[in-house]
Structure 1
Amino acid sequence: MKNISPPSVLSSRCFLIRPALFLVLCLASCSVHADQYDVYLLAGQSNMDGRGAASELTAQQSATSDTAIIFYRNPPYSSDGWKRLEPGYSVPPKFKGELPSSKFGPEIGFASAMSEAHPDRQIALIKGSKGGTSLRKDWAPGEKGKPETQGPRYRDFLETIQQATSQLTDEGHTYQLRGMLWHQGESDSKSSEKTYRERLESLISRIREDTGVADLPVVVGEVFDNGKRDSVRAAIKTVGTSGPNLGLVSSNGTTTWDDGTHFDAKSQWLLGQRFAQAMLRLVD
C-alpha cells in the first residue's frame, strides 16, 4: 500500500549549516507542504465496498492516482491511514489477506471523473462500507450523542470520519467536506417503500447533523434490478430526486457477475462515473 506524502520535513542540507544561519536559510529554502482537499464520504454495503475484479480494469483505470487519496475502514480491516487511491480497498467474503485486495468499488471511476472535471483539485475519499449490512439495523443512525441507540456500522462510520479528518489536519492539510455517496439496499429488500425511504431520509439527516454540514450533497445509487427489489429501488429513486442537495445514480444498463446482485468491473466503473456526474451537478 502506498502512503501519501507527509508534510515535507526540513531538508537534510539545513542541518549542515552553521546554527547562526540555520533559521534564515531554512525559512528561505525549506517549506512545509500542505494541501487543500475536497472530501467525499462513501458508505453502504457490498456494492459500495466493491466486488468488481481489479484485474479487468485497464492499465490507466487501475493506475495509482496522483490527485486522490483514500482512508478506508471496514473493521477489522483498514487502509491504516491515508493512501494514494488505487483498486483494492474492498474486503470481499472470506478475505484473509492484506489490503489492497483484488476487488474495487465505485470510488475508482468516481475519482477519475472528478479529477478529469477539476484537475487542479485534490480529492480525499473516506470510505466506510461492509457487505451484507442493513439500514434497518447496522446503519441505523439512532439518536445523536447516544451510541447505544446506533447501529454498529453507523458508529464505525462516524469514528472513521473523525479519524480521517483528524489525520489530515494533524499533517497540516485543510479540507472541505463536499458530499456523500450511498449505495445500499439489497439487505433491506423486504422493507416497504415507505419504511426504507424514511430510514434513508433519517440517515441523511443525521449524517448532515453529525458532520455539521446542514446542506451536505448526498447522491444515492440504485441497487440492481433483479425483479425482487422494487420497493427499495422506488424508495431510493424518491429520495434521490426529492431535494436540491440530493442526487440519484441509475443502475440502468449495468450487469452483474453473479445472479443479479454484485456489479461486475465494467459496471462498477460506470457507476463510479455516474456518481461523479451526479455529484458535480450538486457541487459545481
Structure 2
Amino acid sequence: MAHQVIDVVTPYISTPGAVNPALLAAATANAAALVDNTVAALALPAQVHQEVVEQVTSSPTVIDAATAAVAAAFTAAAPADVLAAVSGAAFYRGQLSAGSSADVLRLRADVGVWSVYDTATAETITGLPVAAPGTLTVAWVRGSGATSSVAMQEYRTVSGAAYTREASSSGWTPWERTSWTRGQLSAGSSVDVLRLAEDVGVWSVYDAATAAAITGLPRPWSGALTVWWVRGGSLSTSVAMQEYRTTDGEVYTRQTSGAGWTPWAAPGSASITRVDIFLAAGQSNMSGRGTPYGADLDPPHPRIWEVGAHAPTLRVASVPLDMRGDNPNAALSIATTFAREWVARTGETTVALLVPAAQGGTGFDSGTWNWRDPDGPWSLTAAMLTQTATAIAAAQAKWPGATVTVRGMLWHQGENSSGLDQPGYTAAIDDLFARVRAGLGAPDLPIILGELSPDRREGAPERVSDLTIADTPARVARTAVAHSRAGLSRDGDLSHYGREGVTLLGQRMADAYTAAVANAAGVLAMPPGFVQAWRDGTSVRVEWSAPLCRATGYQVATYDGTNWTTAGDDLTVIGRRATITGARATTTTHVRIATLTPSGTSRPTPQIPVGAHSA
C-alpha cells in the first residue's frame, strides 16, 4: 500500500527544493482515494512517512511537503474509521483457565486484563513468569505495519511482584522483573496530559469527589484510567489511547487527535444483547462466607452486575455482594461464583444481573422467609420481589436493546430450619417457591438449591432440611439440587463453605440449571446419569446424577445372583442417594437405578457390581 502512495506522490514532485502546488493537490486527492479503499487505513500514515523518507532522496522541503500532503489526505479521509476503531477498543476482562497459554495473547483483540485465580491453575498455564495467582495485562503498540507492531504483557501477582515482556519475531522477550506505571490521580490533576509512552499504565481514581476535580475524565465517577501508546513512524504519527472504566461498569475510550483528543466514546453498553437476572436467596452461605477473598482474587467482572439490598441501584457486582444484613464476616458468595460460570458459558454479549437478597441466620420463623407474615419488619421474600422489580427496570433502561429475563433463583438455606419438623419445613419451602414464581409471573422459573455442608452432618443424622432439599426435585417441577462434597468447610466452622467450596458449589449450580429446566412434564423419561456404588463397612452406598427429565423418584434394584429386588427394610433412598444394609450388603451384589416419572419408569442404568464385605 505504501508503495502505491509513493508511486502517486513521486511524479508530482518537481525539482529539489520546490513543489508544484497543483500536482501536489492531485497527489493529495489520489492518496485520499487510496486511503478510502484500504482496510489498512489506520496504519497508512506511518507507512507513508517512513517510506517517503527512505525512498525519496530530495531536499527536506520536498520530503516534508509530500509527507504533509499525504498525511492531510489521510486525516481528511479517515476520522470516521479512527473513531470507529476507538469505539470498539474497550478492554476485555476475562479469566485464564487451566491448560491455557499466555503466549497466544498478542493481538489487538486480546488487549485487556486477564485473571488467574489460584496457584493450581497458574501451574498449568503456559507462558506465565511464575506459578502464582495474579492478573495479566495485555497492551498493543502498533507500528507502521503488522510486522512492526508489538504486543506487550505485564503479569502482576497477588503478592505484588510484577513482570513485563514484549513480543519479538521469535516469540517473546524474556520476562523482566519490572512493572508499568501504577499511580493515583489526585484532585486538580488532568488526564489530558497522559499521552506519552512513559505514561502507559493504570491510574486510579478512588472517589467521585476526586473525579469531579480531575480535568478530562468522561464523567465524575471513581474508576481506573488505562493509558497505552500506539506507535507510528514518528512522534507526529503516533497515537496515545485512553480507556476509563468506572466502578459502576461504564467503559469509555478515546485517542489523541493533533494537539487534543477525540471525544470520549462509550462502547461498553452497546454490545450487550441479553441480561439474565438471578435471585440469590437463603441464609449465610448464599450471603457469602467464602474465604479468602479480596481485590486481587476477585476483581470486578464487567458482565456481572447487581442491584443490592442496601443500595438498590444498578452497578458492577462487588465482593462481598450487597446482601441483606450487615455481617462483618461477609465474603465470597455462591451467587458470585455461579455468575462467573454463567457468563463464561453464555458469551461476551450476556450480562448476569444478581439480586442479592440472602441474610445469615434466617429461616421460616415469623417475618423472615415466611409468606404468612408479609408485612413483618423482616419480610425477606417481599423485599426480594421489590428488589427484583427494580433490577428489571434498571436493566431495561441501561441496555434498551437487550432481552432482559429473570432466568432463575439460587437458594441455599437450611442450617436454621426454625424448629420445624420435616413436613412443616417441606410445606414452608414449597410454599415459598410457589409464591415467588407467582409474584414474578414466572410459573416455570428454574430454582437451584445448594446442598448444605456435608461436614456439619458427618456422623450425625440427616437434618429435616437435608431430607427436604434432597427430595425437592421429586416434589417440585423445574427445580434441581447442586451437590457438594465433604472437606470444603472453613477451618473450625463446619457450617460454612470456604472459597474452594463456594467455587465448586457455584459451578455445580450452573451445571444443575440444565437439570432444573429439564425437570418438567412431557420430557422423555431418562435413566439417571453417572452412578457410583461402593462398600462402606457392612453397608453399600450408591449415588447418581440427576437425569434430564421430570423425576418424581428413583427405583434402586439389587441383584444377588438370583433375583432383582427393589424394596425392603434394608434399602433407604433419599434424593439421589441410597444405602443398602443387611444380607444384601454382605454378599457380592449388583446395583442399577431407574427414574420414576409421571409417565412411567425409565429404563434402568447398566448394573454396577459391588464386592462382598470381608469380615
Q: Is 1:69 the equivalent of 2:69?
A: no
Counterparts of 1:91 and 1:131, CA distance in 2: 9
Could you tell me which amino acid in structure 2 is paired with residue 210 of structure 1? G
- 2:249 maps to a residue whose letter is I
1:87 equivalent to 2:319? Answer: yes
- Counterpart in the other structure of 1:36: 274
Change in Cα spacing, 1:253 to 1:37, as seen in structure 2 (3 Å) is same
Match of 2:508 among 244, 262, 274: 274
In structure 1, what is the Cα distance between the partners aligned to 2:341 and 2:326? 31
Tell me how far 1:243 sits from its aligned partner. Answer: 4.2
Higher-strand-fraction structure: 2
Consecutive unaligned residues in structure 1, runs of 5 or more:
9-29
Matched residues in 2 for 1:129 and 1:45: separation?
Answer: 5
| Matched-pair contact (CA < 8 Å) for 2:447–2:479 | yes
CA distance, structure 2, for counterparts of residue 150 and residue 210 of structure 1: 19
Cα distance in 2 for residues equivalent to 1:105 and 1:270: 11
Q: 3-state DSSP class of the match of 1:38?
A: strand
- Alpha-carbon RMSD: 3.1
Q: Which residue of 2 aligns with 1:248?
A: 481
Contact 2:323 2:358 in 1 (8 A): no
Q: Identify the range of structure 1 (84-93 vs 117-126) with the bigger mean alpha-carbon deviation.
A: 84-93
The alignment covers a number of residue pairs equal to: 249
1:215 CA drift (Å): 0.5
Superposed CA deviations along residues 8-67 of structure 1, whole A, max 9, x for unmatched, are: 9xxxxxxxxxxxxxxxxxxxxx9x84643011111111111011124379x5x6232132
Q: 1:223 aligns with which of 452, 457, 460?
A: 452
Deviation at 1:282, TM superposition (A): 3.5
Q: Is the 8 A contact 1:51 1:90 kept in 2?
A: no
- How many Å separate the matches in 2 of 1:270 and 1:124? 20
TM-superposed deviation, 1:148? 3.0
Higher relative contact order (CA 8 A, sep 6+): 1
Q: CA deviation at 1:185?
A: 1.1
Q: Map of 1:115-126 to 2, 5 A cutoff?
A: 115-120=343-348, 121-126=350-355
| 1:131 matched residue in structure 2 | 360
**Residues 110 and 241 of structure 1: is their aligned pair in 2 closer, same or farther, counting only changes over 3 Å?**
farther
Mapped pair 1:235 → 2:468: yes
Name the amino acid aligned to 1:164: A
Post-superposition CA distance 1:52-99 (Å, at most 9, x none) = 124379x5x6232132212221xxx33x51222342215698747xxx
TM-score (norm 1): 0.76
Q: Give the Å deviation of 1:135.
A: 2.1
CA distance in 1: counterparts of 2:288 and 2:279, whole angstroms: 15
Shift of 1:124: 1.2
Distance in 2 of aligned mates of 1:141 and 1:94: 23
Structure-2-length-normalised TM-score: 0.37
Structure 1: which amino acid aligns with 2:248? Answer: N
Mind listing any 5+ residue stretches in structure 2 that lack a counterpart? 1-221, 223-246, 253-266, 519-615
Q: How does 1:173-188 map to 2 (within 5 A)?
A: 173=400, 174-188=403-417
2:374 maps to 1:141: no
* Distance change in 2, residues 1:150/1:238 (3 Å): farther
More helix by share: 1
Give, in angstroms, the shift of residue 156 of structure 1.
1.4
* 2:451 corresponds to 1:213: no
C-alpha deviation, 1:211, in angstroms: 0.2
Check the 8 A contact 1:109/1:272 in 2, yes or no: yes
Q: What secondary structure, in the 3-state scheme, does the structure 2 residue paired with 1:252 have?
A: coil
Letter matched to residue 335 of structure 2: E
Letter in 1 for 2:371: P
- Of stretches 198-207 and 257-266 in structure 1, the one that deviates more from structure 2 is 257-266
Q: Confirm or deny: 8 A CA contact 1:46 1:131 kept in the other structure.
A: yes
Q: 1:113 to 1:196 in 2, by over 3 A?
A: same
Distance 2:437 2:377 in 1: 15
Amino acid at match of 1:153: L
The one-letter code of the counterpart of 2:385 is L
Partner of 1:152: 379
Percent of aligned positions that are identical: 22
